[in-house]
Amino acid sequence: MADNLQSSAPTLQEAISRLNGKKTTPRPDTALAVVTAAAEAGDPDAMRCLTKAYDAEEGFFDEPEKKLFWAKKYYAYCEKNYKKKDLDYLLALSDLAHAHRAIGDPIKALDLYDQCYELRKEAFGETHLLTVLTLIDFAEVCGDLNMTDQELCLLDRAEYQGRFSLGKTHSRMLSAHAHMSFLKYSLNDGSAYDQLYECCDEIVKKRDRITPFLLTTAAELAMFLQKDCESDRAKKLCDVLLQNKEMLPPKARRIGYRVLTELGETEKAEALQE
């Protein structure tokens, strides 16, 4: 994490931006204190920010129980203040599903994603960005439950529908494309390699405008390529992790360290942990 401290306490908006991966200052723990105080006082934006801050794949702190706690708080607020087709309610429902998946309750997450997808499809249409994102989440929790056919089918649908609203190089589309390629590889589909290489190249191109979530995908892809003797591509992805280490989620940091260590890049591995 970045060690530079601001001379004065950050504003709530600055702290939220930091925890959302949009700023490199203040330190995450400093930002967390500001946001937590606001959330405890009932600020809904702060509550939602904490559901992401405690996420291993796109936040700074791997604490799923706290993620679920704040997801429930934010959902209760939105359930009381919004209608079911309102954007804030739908975001809260999705966050709650993410939180249940994070604590290892995929059955509950599957039910919530199902509700969220149907509501978003009805409110915004099948090709809307938010509907497609929920379809991707829906697919990935099917993977958690070893529902391979359903996962592949949903990812394929998401990839088709996402072309209209997200485009092939959107962060979540690249992540979905990578996971679909992993799945195809496990099923001995020969087209998986070309798709994985394409994902790798696109992530490297986005290195200067990457999201925390895509950094986790980059780490997972680097691990896959390193195991498959594609060390040059794996190193390129690890360089992207190093370039963006101030915003690395815990899961990406752990995987990146392991990959660099196995590649013999000890100094880089230690730098990733700083």
Res. 3 pLDDT band, cuts 50 70 90: very low
Q: What's the mean pLDDT in 141-145?
A: 92
What per-residue confidence (pLDDT) applies to 99? 97
Beta strands of the chain (E only): which ranges? Answer: none
Q: List the one residue out of 206, 205, 238 whose CA is nearest residue 219.
A: 238
Please tell me the distance from the alpha carbon of residue 107 to that of residue 145, in angstroms, as a whole number: 8
At residue 204 the predicted structure's pLDDT band, cuts being 50, 70 and 90, is very high
Cα dist from 257 to 60, 232, 239, whole Å: 16, 16, 12
Mean pLDDT of 59-78: 96
pLDDT: which is higher, 34 or 189? 34
> Is the N-terminal amide bond of 26 cis, ω within 30° of 0?
yes
Residues in the chain: 274
Average the pLDDT over 261-270 and give the result: 95
pLDDT at 233: 92
Mean pLDDT of 195-222: 90
Give Cα separations from 119 to 79, 94, 113 (angstroms).
Answer: 14, 11, 10
228 vs 202, residue with greater confidence: 202
pLDDT band at 175 (very low <50, low <70, confident <90, very high): confident
- b/e map 190-221, b = 16+ CB within 10 Å: eebeebbeebbebbeebbeebbbbbbbbbbbb
Rounded to an integer, the average pLDDT of 245-267 is 94
What is the arithmetic mean of pLDDT over 58-86? 96
* Average pLDDT of every residue of the chain: 90
pLDDT in tens, 4-35: 444 478 999 999 999 987 777 888 999 999 99
> Where residue 176 falls among pLDDT bands split at 50, 70, 90?
confident
Query: Considering only CA atoms, which of 237, 206, 232, 205 is closest in space to residue 220?
Result: 237
Match 């949009």 to its residue by tokens: 22
Residues 142, 205: Cα–Cα separation, whole Å? 30
